[in-house]
Amino acid sequence: MAMAAHRLPSSSPLRSSLSRILRFSRLFSSQSSDDQTVLTVETSVPFTAHKCDPPPRTIDTTPKELLGFFREMSVMRRMEIAADTLYKAKLIRGFCHLYDGQEAVAVGMEAAITRRDAIITAYRDHCIYLARGGDLVSALAELMGRRAGCSKGKGGSMHFYKKDAQFYGGHGIVGAQIPLGCGIAFGQKYSKDETATFTLYGDGAANQGQLFEALNMAALWDLPVILVCENNHYGMGTAEWRASKSPAYYKRGDYVPGLKVNGMDVFAVKQACSFAKEHALKNGPIILEMDTYRYHGHSMSDPGSTYRTRDEITGVRQERDPIERIRKLILSHELATSSELKDVEKQIRKEVDDAIAQAKEIPMPDPSELFTNVYVKVIWA
């Protein structure tokens, strides 16, 4: 009791440390009394619209959301960097496509919708799985082909899946997920459950014929589908200007409205996705072009520096990085100090390291698993 009544000198290093720990705990606790204070931010650049009026650039947020965005994107970034190391150590085999640089698309989209809405994407899917509520251990276990992975270790990098969160995966065939996404949206409209499907694809898939065939049907039937082109400007090693006569992908739907969005700005993504969902539920399909950038190569077999310069990559990191933009907003609103944010990143590194250690201990699938999940058993009445 006597110790509880003792007051440390204001200059005491211990008091300073304790104060910092308490403040750090409050910052990332949902119990903070001021975490719902309304803050108004503006998207970094205006939206560019096709056949629709763009949403406003201003958007309300809270300290809790800002700090949450910082943490979520930092976890994704650290996991992808760790996956690079695991692949080089041959603990991840086969194909592996990393998402670092594009985190704002996954996080901003998730912030605008609910888990009842569906998402389907291509093979760059690890971080979208995390955004849908997946955990690090099941993500890393899947990457390493372990039985506790999100697809039982049988999907690997390109085939993450989370049915309870309406995440229909990772698909390895370029553009193949687009008609599937329109099919999911058809089911949503048929069920009249007021949900939508976000169907993601890259600029490399934007010239696929199946995109236009599926879009035609979706427009005819006014399906609640949002086609999201994650334009990171390179289809494998080919720059968009070499592959597309018209790289304005948000206009490529012709008769379907579109919106070009800064995909490196999580608030722009959130605003655009909220706008697009509302539009799709009332009027049918819409295209969102997310102007983003990947820091790694196309896959782990691609160094990513033979068709673009290192200066280009460094320039994007310095000027457009999605995590740094949120860091600057947090610091400008004095929600945390630079040192406290570094402490968060240290904690995240430990979480990822611990998850890797756990995933490594999980056994591989039993050989008998080769014959499961191939056919669906149908019992005829």
Mean pLDDT of 156-162: 97
In this predicted structure, the answer to whether residue 148 has a pLDDT above a threshold of 80 is yes
Mean pLDDT of 292-313: 95
In this predicted structure, the answer to whether residue 173 has a pLDDT above a threshold of 50 is yes
pLDDT, position 29? 55
DSSP at 290: E
pLDDT, position 61? 97
Between 278 and 11, name the one with better pLDDT: 278
In this predicted structure, the answer to whether residue 78 has a pLDDT above a threshold of 60 is yes
In this predicted structure, the answer to whether residue 33 has a pLDDT above a threshold of 70 is no
Contact 78, 140 (CB under 8 A): no
pLDDT, position 25? 52
pLDDT, position 264? 98
Confidence of residue 35 (pLDDT cuts 50, 70, 90): confident
Instruction: Convert the pLDDT of each residue in 89-102 to its tens digit.
Output: 999 999 999 999 99
**Which backbone phi and psi does 226 adopt, to 5 degrees?**
-115, 115
Confidence of residue 381 (pLDDT cuts 50, 70, 90): low
Sign of CA dihedral 109, 112, 116, 118: negative
Between CA 27 and CA 30 the distance in angstroms is 8
Mean pLDDT of 287-306: 96
Contact 119, 108 (CB under 8 A): no
What is the percent of the chain where pLDDT is above 90? Answer: 87
Per-residue tokens: 284:
């049918």
In this predicted structure, the answer to whether residue 23 has a pLDDT above a threshold of 60 is no
Contacts 24+ apart (CB under 8 A), 88-92: 88/300, 91/144, 91/360, 92/143, 92/144, 92/145, 92/157, 92/300
Instruction: Convert the pLDDT of each residue in 208-254 to its tens digit.
Output: 999 999 999 999 999 999 999 999 999 999 999 999 999 999 999 99
Q: Where are the alpha helices (DSSP H) in the chain?
A: 2-5, 13-27, 63-88, 103-112, 126-131, 136-143, 177-191, 209-220, 240-243, 266-283, 310-320, 322-332, 338-361
Between CA 194 and CA 118 the distance in angstroms is 11
SS3 338: helix
Between 244 and 34, name the one with better pLDDT: 244
Mean pLDDT of 33-51: 90
Between 24 and 130, name the one with better pLDDT: 130
pLDDT, position 380? 80
pLDDT, position 4? 40
Q: Beta strands 258-262 and 48-50: pairing type?
A: antiparallel
Q: How many C-beta neighbours within 10 Å does residue 87 have?
A: 21
pLDDT, position 54? 98
Q: Could you tell me which of 41, 15, 107 has the C-alpha nearest to residue 335?
A: 41
- Point out the least confidently predicted range of 252-256, 277-281, 367-371: 367-371
Burial tier of 32 (Cβ tally within 10 Å: 0-12, 13-18, 19+): middle
pLDDT, position 9? 47
Supply the pTM of this predicted model.
0.90
**Which backbone phi and psi does 368 adopt, to 5 degrees?**
-65, -20
240 alpha carbon, distance to own chain's centre: 22
Mean pLDDT of 73-92: 98
Mean pLDDT of 39-55: 97
What is the percent of the chain where pLDDT is above 70? Answer: 91
Angle at 61 between CA 67 and CA 125, to 5 degrees: 60
Instruction: Convert the pLDDT of each residue in 339-365 to its tens digit.
Output: 999 999 999 999 999 999 999 999 999
Q: Could you tell me which of 287, 192, 214 has the C-alpha nearest to residue 246?
A: 287
Per-residue tokens: 80:
């992808």
Between CA 281 and CA 215 the distance in angstroms is 15
**Average pLDDT of the chain to the nearest whole number:** 92
Cross-strand bridge partners of residue 231? 291
